[in-house]
Amino acid sequence: MPHFLDLLAVPASELRAVLDESHRIKAARGGMPKGRLDKDAPFKGETLALIFEKSSTRTRFSFDMAMQQLGGRGLTVSASDMQIGRGETIEDTAKVLSRFIDGIMLRANSHNTLLGLAAHADIPVINGLTDYNHPCQIMADLQTLEERGGDLSDMSLTWVGDGNNVAVSFINAAAKFGFKLRLSCPKAYQVSDNILAPARAQGAKITVIENPLEAAQDSDVIIADSFVSMGDKDADARLEDLMPYQVTDAIMNAAAKDAVFLHCLPAHRGEEVAASVIDGPQSAVFDEAENRLHAQKAIIRWCFDA
Ligand code: CP
Ligand code: NVA
């Protein structure tokens, strides 16, 4: 079953094809009204369940509109309104939904819940973020970088801040798209070797540089994300520990001229990023947000067409 759970599990050639398809899909729509169907509308009458164990703005609306443009529909449900919220197993949920839904996107607290769903579903399962990773986001981010004229395999990207779920998907993408990735996180917030090792084994070029100004030096892309992710309990300690990793003008100035600033959003100005950076000319954050729609349409096609 073609599930989209983890970039490391998908062959590089297929991810490349998904990204190419995403560029094609975006270009093909031109200035069409947002609710209008794509010319081919390949999934007429098909339904993708959109299940959320935690909050979402971009993922929720972009998947819903993606299915609409593809000719089908998204069916959004909060997990707390389902019987899984009252203890029904994820295995039973997978088997039941497989009987009358065409695919499932899940945003889960625990990656194990997603794996359990995928293991027991006879329909495609797409990862809409877990505590471990956020692969759909990174496909949109890479599309954003390519649109600005870059060849990913020539680029050097720097992640600044918490070594979190979004960082993990950049690490996994580094193994598939050939860019160099620098990780700049305080010691206690670094990504573990368990995560780095399999990506490196697939060819990821990753360096760990604790000092953010040093890590940013001549980098083509600077990336930030929240210091406190959904589900993190220790907000006060995180904010204090991570504040020296705020992406400031000084960090952008250390990077290459015209370096791109990325952030998956939601952002917290004055915490992980200065307002002058995220609202400044080098920021690509709203293109990233838009590209969630296009990239996810390519991902849905990859899952449904297989
Ligand atoms: N970037 C992202 O996944 O945003 P949401 O949490 O709003 O879906
Ligand atoms: N790291 C953030 C990303 C939100 C899209 C979180 O998990 O809350």
Q: How far is the CA of 265 from the centre of ligand 1 (A)?
A: 6
Residue of 43, 24, 18, 20 whose CA lies nearest to 296: 18
Q: How far is the CA of 45 from the centre of ligand 2 (A)?
A: 32
Query: In sequence order, what are the residues at sequence separation of 6 or more whose Cβ sits closer than 8 angstroms to the Cβ of residue 50?
Result: 59, 60, 63, 64, 74, 75, 76, 77, 105, 128
pLDDT tens, position by position, 82-97: 999 899 999 999 999 9
Q: In the beta sheet, which residues pair with residue 78?
A: 52
Residue 257 predicted with pLDDT over 90: yes
Q: Do domains 7-134+289-305 and 149-283 have the same CATH topology?
A: yes
Which residue has the least CA distance to atom 7 on ligand 1?
Answer: 57
Distance CA 154, CA 150 (A): 8
Which residue has the least CA distance to atom 1 on ligand 1?
Answer: 264
- Fold designation for 149-283: Rossmann fold (3.40.50)
Q: Is the peptide bond before 266 cis (omega within 30 degrees of 0)?
A: yes
- What is the residue-averaged pLDDT of the chain? 97
Q: How far is the CA of 128 from the centre of ligand 1 (A)?
A: 9
Q: Which CATH class is domain 7-134+289-305?
A: alpha beta
Q: How far is the CA of 129 from the centre of ligand 1 (A)?
A: 8
Pocket test for ligand 1, best of 50, 265, 285, 296 (most atoms within 8 A of CB): 265
Question: Domain spans of the chain?
Answer: 7-134+289-305, 149-283
pLDDT the model gives residue 168? 98
Residue of 93, 100, 39, 109 whose CA lies nearest to 75: 100
Active-site residues, by number, are 107, 134, 137, 225, 264, 292
What phi and psi values does residue 265 have, to the nearest 5 degrees?
70, 150
Which residue has the least CA distance to atom 3 on ligand 2?
Answer: 229
Residue type, 105: M
User: Is the pTM here over 0.85, yes or no?
Assistant: yes
pLDDT, mean of residues 123-142: 98
Residue with tokens 């019987």: 83
pLDDT tens, position by position, 176-226: 999 999 999 999 999 999 999 999 999 999 999 999 999 999 999 999 999
